Amino acid sequence: MRSRARRAANISTSCRRFLLSLALFAASWVLVALPVPRAAAEELRIAVVTEPTSLDPLFRLVGPDEQIARHFFDPLVLQDEHQHLTPGLALSWRTVDDTTWEFKLRQGVRFSDGSLFTAQDVAASLERAAGLQNSIGGYGIYTRQVTRAEIVDDYTIRLHTATPYPSMPFDLSPVWIVSHKVAREPTEAFNTGKAVIGTGPFRLVQWVRGERLVLERNPDYWGRKPAWERVVINFIPNDSARIAALLAGDVDFIEMVPPSAMDGIKSNPAFRLVAGISARVIYLTFDSYREQTPFAFDAHGDALPGNPLRDRRVRLAISKAVDRQAIVEKIMQGAAESAGQLVPDTYFGASTKLRPEPYDPEGARALLAAAGYPSGFAITLQVPNDRYVSAEKVGIAIGQMLSRIGIETRVDAMPESIYKSRAAKFEFSFFLQGWYSESAEASNSLRAIVATRDATRGWGVANRGRYSNPDFDELLRRAVATPADGARSALLAEAMEMAMEDAAVVPLYLEGSTWAFRKDLAYVSRLDQFTLAQEVTRAH
């Protein structure tokens, strides 16, 4: 990992000014209006928290990869800032029958290598998404129900499924279309830039791992042209360093402003801040699979003979012990919203009955005693410290809350790069995660987080605790195959209620989204939290 000093040197034009700003910021979060040098008229410099895993748009289904992919590639169906569906590479879509969807494609679109986009590229992309080798939490959850892609003509494609698939337009909105010429290339060909051939608003110039990504405007883009000829995206996971870079004028635009810095930016006339509640739910996951879990111990530090997290009463006790409102008010300073389910209440398929679990430490102690742990036990809570807003502070607060009911909790915070690798190997017992529904409806979260892991269906891609409930799986299967919207929404809500009743996972809050930038720029808060250079405009 590069040192902070090296990262600062890579992004700073004035090292002394940078370090002075950082020291002032770290000491008091007081933002001082410094001279902000204007970047080149057509260049935008952005600082993001997390570097993408890969430039292969179908390699890993995770936010940092998705937001970078959207600069180079397009899906058939786009989502606006509210996650409403709008035409992308497909102008329209309709059901031909219960198991066939037809998409009419946009004509005259060119890839960045100059070749024309056709239905052949759609078919090749869906095939890649379903069968990409070594993919980490891949896109098969959205594509494996497609049994056949029928190319009717260059600009009409029909997608066939074995059973009704009413949510297909939602599910295809996160699936990026690559040129058929590179659809069989290995992921490394994308990472070197060779295969980054898309129809998106930008073209790749350079990826310097650990430092920056450089883009240039795609002059042949079919949609609204970006305001910027050149974009430099810097990777700065440290909150203090990211804000110091903005103060020093080394970047123009940053994401994920910590709550404690928001008031200072609002009061600084040199900058603007945009904030809103996102669709990303932060939640706790349990190893409810193994007979003995690696990070649970008795009072003497010895491994417990059984796994307490397999007991619903223990999971529910943990939920009752967490004071969500205190986290929202004191740590997030209001820039979050307590959650009682895995999606915003406004989503299709969300339950109207579920509310955030009330803070009830006495009830939590009673549940622990009933489960056979009257004196509690010890456990480790793993948390990524550079992925979600104030996640380490939240983890520490949860550890303190659980210790009050007898669950002595050690918090192990680590960089996302290490965390995600270990979580994917099922190394953890109890850990904090975040998820938002790429398809903007409830089945996405339920299939990914709660459903039993099933490679054939593509279910359970984010089920790192390996929770499994056959009754839930059957209810969800019925829900996603129900064509009528009203009936499908009711079944999804019922499935959500079943999962929350069993404390399959414990939702905590919907994360807030914040961006800060020069006063002459403008940006609209996005429910998906994406930082998109093409959506940054000049203020009027």
Per-residue pLDDT, 179:
98
Measured distance CA(430)–CA(285) in Å, rounded: 6
Per-residue pLDDT, 222:
97
Q: 185 to each of 62, 192, 240, how far by Cα in Å?
A: 21, 12, 39
pLDDT of 53 higher than 80: yes
Measured distance CA(272)–CA(516) in Å, rounded: 6
What is the DSSP code string of 105-151? EPSS-B-TTSPBP-HHHHHHHHHHHHH-TT-BS-THHHHTTEEEEEE
Q: Which amino acid is at 43?
A: E
Closest by Cα among 388, 423, 403 to 508: 388
pLDDT of 34 higher than 60: no
Measured distance CA(215)–CA(174) in Å, rounded: 21
Give the CB-side neighbour count of residue 430, counting CA atoms within 13 A. Answer: 28
User: What does the pLDDT look like over 252-279, one tens digit per residue?
Assistant: 999 999 888 998 999 999 999 999 999 9
Q: Which amino acid is at 418?
A: I
Question: For the chain, first and last CA: distance in Å?
Answer: 41
User: What does the pLDDT look like over 440-481, one tens digit per residue?
Assistant: 899 999 999 999 999 888 899 899 999 999 999 999 999 999
Measured from the Cβ of residue 362, the count of other Cβ atoms closer than 10 Å reads 9
Measured distance CA(319)–CA(338) in Å, rounded: 12
Per-residue pLDDT, 137:
61
pLDDT, mean of residues 8-21: 40
Sheet strands (E) in 397-458 = 407-414, 430-435
Per-residue pLDDT, 12:
42
Give me the sign of the Cα torsion angle 179, 184, 188, 189: negative
Topology of domain 279-510, CATH:
Dipeptide-binding Protein; domain 3 (3.10.105)
User: What does the pLDDT look like over 171-215, one tens digit per residue?
Assistant: 999 999 999 999 999 999 999 999 999 999 999 999 999 999 999
Q: Are strands 430-435 and 253-255 parallel, antiparallel or unpaired?
A: unpaired
Q: In the 8-state DSSP scheme, what is residue 37?
A: P
Sheet strands (E) in 142-287 = 146-153, 156-161, 176-177, 202-208, 212-217, 230-235, 253-255, 271-286
Measured distance CA(442)–CA(351) in Å, rounded: 9
Measured distance CA(230)–CA(97) in Å, rounded: 46
* CATH, domain range 73-184: 3.90.76.10
Report the percentage of the chain scoring pLDDT > 70: 92
Determine contact, residues 278/510, Cβ cutoff 8 Å: yes
Q: Could you tell me the pTM of the whole model? A: 0.84
In the chain, where are the structural domains located? Answer: 73-184, 279-510
